Amino acid sequence: SPLMCCSWKQCSLTALSLCRLLLVKSCCVSSVCGQPPLNTRIVGGQPAPEGAWPWQVSIHRGFGHICGGSLINNLWVLSAAHCFQRNKLNLKSHDSDNTVYIGRQTQENANANEVRRTIVEVINHESYNPSTNDNDIALLKMASTVTFTNYIRPVCLAASGSTFHAGTDSWITGWGSIGSGSKRTVEMPVVGNRKCKCDYAGVFLINDNMICAGLEAGGKDSCQGDSGGPMVSKQNSRWIQSGVVSFGRGCALPNNPGVYARVSRYQSWINSKITENQPGFITFTSSGTDSDLSASCSLVPPLTTTPLLRRLLPLLRRLRRLLPLLRRLLPLLRRLLPLLR
CA distances from 96 to 81, 273, 284, 295, 302 (A): 16, 19, 35, 46, 43
DSSP string spanning 161-209?
Answer: T----TT-EEEEEESTTTT-SB-EEEEEEEE-HHHHHHHTTTT----TT
Rounded Cα gap, residues 216 and 223, in angstroms: 16
30: closest CA among 3, 57, 70? 3
Contact 185, 226 (CB under 8 A): no
Rounded Cα gap, residues 34 and 54, in angstroms: 9
Pairing type for strands 98-102 and 115-124 reads antiparallel
User: What is the set of active-site residues?
Assistant: 82, 136, 227
Q: Which amino acid is at 217?
A: A
Pairing type for strands 156-158 and 238-247 reads parallel
Contact 76, 277 (CB under 8 A): no
Pairing type for strands 64-71 and 281-282 reads unpaired
CA dihedral 102, 108, 109, 113 (to 10 degrees): -10
CA R_g for the chain: 20
CA distances from 156 to 22, 95, 149, 241, 275 (A): 20, 25, 16, 6, 17
Rounded Cα gap, residues 217 and 10, in angstroms: 52
Query: For the chain, how far is it from start to end, CA to CA, in angstroms?
Result: 64
